[in-house]
A and B are shown apart, each in its own frame.
Chain A
Amino acid sequence: DTAVSQTPKYLVTQMGNDKSIKCEQNLGHDTMYWYKQDSKKFLKIMFSYNNKELIINETVPNRFSPKSPDKAHLNLHINSLELGDSAVYFCASSQGDGRDTEAFFGQGTRLTVV
């Protein structure tokens, strides 16, 4: 019974394609996030949503469009994929703003753009 689940786990696609990553959490949390982990393992926030509302868009290109249909889901759609988008994308959730609470991460989606 996975707390934060992302699909797919692996995604290999060609440059210029459009792809989506789905995320669902069953923890009852009100905040969800997308983080990007590059080849050097650096973890960087991309988006934060609280109660389905966008809170943070951390200077991410507008080719990336998150959508939160409800508090339990946060999907990420990427248009016109570029080589530099290759990375591992993590979905996470927490209760509130993450301070004094645990953020739970999914197992990641490894995106490879060829």
Chain B
Amino acid sequence: QQQVKQSPQSLIVQKGGISIINCAYENTAFDYFPWYQQFPGKGPALLIAIRPDVSEKKEGRFTISFNKSAKQFSLHIMDSQPGDSATYFCAATYSGTYKYIFGTGTRLKVLA
């Protein structure tokens, strides 16, 4: 119940294309869902986050879509750029847990 399932494991997209990464969870207590971006040799950094009271959140080229009834959420990267090539992690948490449950990560490669 504490798992967050993430797919795909790896993704190759052409420059200018749309990258889509999906996550699913079981624990309905989760109420905060951040996405983290990690470049090689660096720590993860927050990209965008959403709470389940909204169905979509957009920041620049990055959009989270959230489906509360399906317990799924996804990250869309529009106009993908080579500089977006990184590993992306979805995560989930809820008040009082003092931890993020991370998905297994998606390695994104954007071809120039």
A98 touches B98 (CB 8 A): yes
A58 touches B104 (CB 8 A): no
B44 touches A99 (CB 8 A): no
B41 touches A97 (CB 8 A): no
C-alpha spacing A100/B46, complex, angstroms: 12
- Of the stretches B54-62, B68-76, B89-97, the one at the interface is B89-97
Determine the chain A residues whose CB is within 8 A of the CB of B44 once the complex forms.
Answer: 43, 90, 105
Count how many pairs of residues, one from A and one from B, have CB atoms less than 8 Å apart in the complex.
Answer: 72
Interface size on A, residues (CB 8 A): 27
- Chain B interface residue number, banded: 20 to 34
Determine the chain A residues whose CB is within 8 A of the CB of B49 once the complex forms.
Answer: 100, 102
A75 within 8 A of B: no
Which of A33, A43, A99, A104 is B32 in contact with, Cβ under 8 Å?
A99
Determine the chain A residues whose CB is within 8 A of the CB of B45 once the complex forms.
Answer: 104-105
Determine the chain B residues whose CB is within 8 A of the CB of A33 once the complex forms.
Answer: 98-99
Determine the chain B residues whose CB is within 8 A of the CB of A25 once the complex forms.
Answer: none
Determine the chain B residues whose CB is within 8 A of the CB of A48 once the complex forms.
Answer: 98-99
